Amino acid sequence: MNIILLGYMGCGKSSIGRDLASKLKMECLDLDDYIEAQEKKSINQIFEEKGEIYFRKKENEYLKEVLETYSNTIISLGGGTPCFAGNLELIKDNKDAKSVYLKTSLQELVDRLFVEKDKRPLISHLNLEEDLKDFIRKHLFERSFYYNQAEYVISTDDKTVKEVVAEIQETLF
């Protein structure tokens, strides 16, 4: 069985994925890292050189590849992955996968992302906390429809990675 983690950037998909994989003795795969390895370019370079449409097309191809190839793996998606190119249907139709939305409140996302915005090109240009909040609010409004279709929804607010991992374990097993 694969466990697919989805949610907005900063919700903890990568760190929770690594910890969960370790606890469950499963492999861990971050889809963005996988895309970068296959394309031999960073996500930012792909966006800059080839554009978002190209990226979303490749993201869909690599998601299919991962779902067909990997088993017993924790798969952390990019924040936008479930929202494009029929990716959500791929996930929902996969009988060997359980999807988990790591739901994080707007304010918690702002608090987490504002301190690390320079490491995240999508938001690095947002110098005011209020601008970041508006940016995230708009995205959450657009993406919540997709995120909430995950089989399980786990809140990450005011919880450590270990607490979220334990809750996922309790919920799934």
Mean pLDDT, residues 89-108: 96
Q: How confident is the model at residue 74 (pLDDT cuts 50, 70, 90)?
A: very high
User: Residue 54 in contact with residue 46, Cβ under 8 Å?
Assistant: yes
Helix (H) or strand (E) holding 100: strand 97-103
* Alpha-carbon span 35 to 127, nearest angstrom: 29
Q: Partners of 4 in the beta sheet?
A: 75, 99
| CATH numbers and ranges of domains, the chain | 2-167 (3.40.50.300)
In tens, the pLDDT along 4-63 reads 999 999 999 999 999 999 999 999 999 999 999 999 999 888 988 998 899 999 999 999
Full-model pTM: 0.94
10 is in an annotated binding site: yes
13 is in an annotated binding site: yes
18 is in an annotated binding site: no
143 is in an annotated binding site: yes
Can you give the pLDDT at residue 50?
93
**Residue 150 pLDDT more than 80?**
yes
Q: How confident is the model at residue 124 (pLDDT cuts 50, 70, 90)?
A: confident
Burial 80-117 (b: 16+ CB within 10 A, else e): bbbbbbebbebbeebeebbbbbbbbeeebbbebbbeeb
**Residue 86 pLDDT more than 80?**
yes
120 is in an annotated binding site: yes
Per-residue tokens: 17: 């994925």
Mean of all residue pLDDT scores within the chain: 95
11 is in an annotated binding site: yes
* Alpha-carbon span 137 to 8, nearest angstrom: 11
14 is in an annotated binding site: yes
